[in-house]
Chain A
Amino acid sequence: MSLVFYLFAALTLAGGLAAVLLKNTIHCALALTVAFAGLALLFLDLDAQFAGFAQILVYIGAVAILVVFAILLTRSSETPKDGVYSKNWLAGLAIAAGVFAVLAWAVLQSAGGLPQGAAATPAVTVLQIGNALLGRYVLPLEIVALLLTAAMIGAVIVAMHEKERAQR
């Protein structure tokens, strides 16, 4: 738990908080991008190069852009009239606290299993990740690929139906 870790954690938290508290939706999306960047930096701090760079490539390079396009094209970039706080904020707080408690318990449970003061985190090379993905974890990989293909085909079909409807 070094100073660097606290800095990155603060950056991520600040980005996340800004993403829910800011009024302008596009500003929220950009703050979310900062949160993604903070997560990537945390991965890099743990020497997980592949995860960190893939996080930047996928989340900042694709997901953030997708979010921003979606905001723009659905015209919800104007600030909502009633403000950003919802009426049922107490219920929301309770649910969020419950989820946080479950996650914290899970993390602390697994952290107990690690040797204390692990000197060097095992350096996982991309080669090892590749071998694992296509060796031991090939089934989850193929299922995820199938899921993504289905999503893409679905998107194309939805768009195609719209085009046909527009042509008639």
Chain B
Amino acid sequence: MVERMDQVFVLFAHWLVGFLPAGWQPVAAVLLSVVVIICLFPALFALTTVLERKGLGRIQNRIGPNRTGPFGILQPVADGIKSLTKEDIVPLSADAVVHFLAPLVLVVTVFMGFAVLPMGRGMVLADIDAGLLFFFAMGASTELSVFMAGWSSRNKYSLLGAMRAVAQMISYEVPLLMSSVAVVMITGSLSLSRIVEAQNHYTWGLPHWYIFTPWGLAGFVMYAIAATAETNRSPFDLPEGESELVAGYHTEYSGFKFALFFLGEYLAMFSISGLGTTLFLGGWSAPFSFLGWVPSWIWFFSKLMLSICVFIWLRGTLPRLRQDQLMNFAWKFVLPMTLLNLMVAALWRFLGDGWERWVICSAILLLAYLAMGWLGMRQGHIGPRRYRYAD
């Protein structure tokens, strides 16, 4: 019974596909999974917009939307209708083809990222051997669409926003990859389902998730920082900050195209949280061995929604980082820490089992963190300000 609940979707898909002739079955199975993903994650997106507005409201001493439906649940429906019926304005001198393609490229590449996430035991759309590489390849392609959007609008502020966004995304791509490489190193495979299975073991009831190791915790923190920056979320949302550049690279978009950008951003958040869950939080594995009877997909989505709640919490708490602060942070703090983390992970592997490796690895990481933090937070000497003029 527990087994059936766990595999309920897989069995249902098999039963549905069984109606078709044998030649069509693989294609039909893939198509079915694709349709499910395309329907499920936008629905989650709708739920998340309400959650975010209500959550942010409560953090900011106010109630969020509460007029459409009980507790504002139907607000996304209202938003959807609004975005569908608004006039689609394309600036006269804008590059029409590129302007049209930019949101499409964004949404398509973001949806592709979901194909390799293991959402439950045996519930991966495409169990690719180089799954993690595929995911990052799709993530890198989203930067192109951001640039296309900013450039095709023929608006210097959109272009500025797009350049900033692309610079930010590229700078944080490196720590994102580096913190994942530590996981790959320890697991020995790029395949995401193998990584989850490697974390699905229990010692004294506690799981072997990578976040419970020193290098895993450091890696997870840095992955979270890089993920927040990759998806242009607060506190790294300068490119799209409403009070900064109007709306940055999607200023000139209205109606449904804007809704597509919004959808793309939230879906990117989901997929990157899903990847973080898979790499560090054990994917679909349960937190304690005695909770193994709960279906695996429930664990995956709970962890995903928990990450989303943390994203919302961060958004409500932190002020926005300036562009140069953001870039300094990436190159001067996060990147060296990820490189050190890689070496510590290697050390972890070669020190063998035992309590020594815990102590040594934790000590190295903690000292490095304290040292770099202290270095970074020192107030510079207060002297006359030096200006650098453009010539």
Which residues of A line the B interface, CB within 8 A? 24, 26-27, 30, 33, 49-50, 53-54, 56-57, 60-62, 64-65, 68-69, 72, 125-127, 163, 166-167
Q: Which 10 A-B pairs have the closest CB atoms?
A: A61-B140, A56-B137, A57-B137, A53-B133, A49-B130, A53-B137, A53-B134, A57-B140, A126-B130, A126-B190
**Scoring B residues 142 to 179 as 1 if CB is less than 8 Å from chain A, else 0, what string do you get?**
01100110010000000100010010001001000000
Contacts of A30 in B (CB 8 A): 98, 148
**Scoring B residues 77 to 112 as 1 if CB is less than 8 Å from chain A, else 0, what string do you get?**
000000000000000000100100000000000000
Q: Are B133 and A50 in contact (CB under 8 A)?
A: yes
Which single residue of chain B is at the shortest CB-CB distance from A48? B130
Q: Are A61 and B130 in contact (CB under 8 A)?
A: no
Which single residue of chain A is at the shortest CB-CB distance from B191? A126
Minimum distance in angstroms from B385 CB to a CB of chain A: 13
In the complex, whether B125 has a CB less than 8 A from a CB of chain A is no
Q: Are B130 and A50 in contact (CB under 8 A)?
A: yes
Which single residue of chain A is at the shortest CB-CB distance from B146? A65
Minimum distance in angstroms from A76 CB to a CB of chain B: 14
Q: Are B390 and A65 in contact (CB under 8 A)?
A: no
Q: Are A54 and B98 in contact (CB under 8 A)?
A: no
A76 to B358, CA, bound (A): 56
A24 to B95, CA, bound (A): 10
A89 to B133, CA, bound (A): 41
Given contacts A53-B130, A69-B166, A166-B389, 16 further A-B contacts (CB under 8 A): A26-B95, A26-B151, A30-B98, A49-B134, A54-B133, A54-B137, A56-B140, A56-B141, A61-B141, A62-B140, A62-B170, A68-B147, A69-B163, A126-B129, A126-B130, A126-B133
A24 to B139, CA, bound (A): 27
8 pairs from A and B in contact (CB 8 Å cutoff)? A49-B128, A49-B134, A50-B130, A53-B136, A68-B147, A126-B189, A126-B190, A166-B388
Minimum distance in angstroms from A67 CB to a CB of chain B: 11
Minimum distance in angstroms from B384 CB to a CB of chain A: 14
Contacts of A33 in B (CB 8 A): 144
Contacts of B134 in A (CB 8 A): 49, 53
Minimum distance in angstroms from B126 CB to a CB of chain A: 11
Which single residue of chain A is at the shortest CB-CB distance from B184? A126
Which residues of B line the A interface, CB within 8 A? 95, 98, 128-130, 133-134, 136-141, 143-144, 147-148, 151, 159, 163, 166, 170, 173, 188-190, 386, 388-391
Minimum distance in angstroms from B332 CB to a CB of chain A: 14
Contacts of B95 in A (CB 8 A): 24, 26
A125 to B151, CA, bound (A): 39
Q: Are B166 and A65 in contact (CB under 8 A)?
A: yes
* Residue of A24, A30, A53, A125 ringed by the most chain B CB atoms within 10 A: A53
Minimum distance in angstroms from A3 CB to a CB of chain B: 16
Contacts of B390 in A (CB 8 A): 166
Contacts of A127 in B (CB 8 A): 188-189
Complex partner residue of A64 from B139, B144, B173, B189, CB under 8 angstroms: B144
Contacts of A61 in B (CB 8 A): 137, 139-141, 143-144, 173
Contacts of A125 in B (CB 8 A): 129
Q: Are B129 and A49 in contact (CB under 8 A)?
A: yes
A62 to B151, CA, bound (A): 17
A23 to B260, CA, bound (A): 29
Q: Are B141 and A60 in contact (CB under 8 A)?
A: yes
A30 to B147, CA, bound (A): 11
A54 to B188, CA, bound (A): 18
Contacts of A72 in B (CB 8 A): 151, 159, 163
Minimum distance in angstroms from A65 CB to a CB of chain B: 6
A53 to B129, CA, bound (A): 11
Q: Are B170 and A65 in contact (CB under 8 A)?
A: yes
Contacts of A26 in B (CB 8 A): 95, 98, 151
Minimum distance in angstroms from A72 CB to a CB of chain B: 7
Minimum distance in angstroms from B138 CB to a CB of chain A: 8
Minimum distance in angstroms from A51 CB to a CB of chain B: 10
Which single residue of chain B is at the shortest CB-CB distance from A57? B137
A139 to B389, CA, bound (A): 46
Which single residue of chain A is at the shortest CB-CB distance from B166? A65
Q: Are B388 and A60 in contact (CB under 8 A)?
A: no
A24 to B251, CA, bound (A): 23
Contacts of A166 in B (CB 8 A): 388-391
A57 to B109, CA, bound (A): 12
Contacts of B139 in A (CB 8 A): 61
Which single residue of chain A is at the shortest CB-CB distance from B152? A26
A65 to B143, CA, bound (A): 8
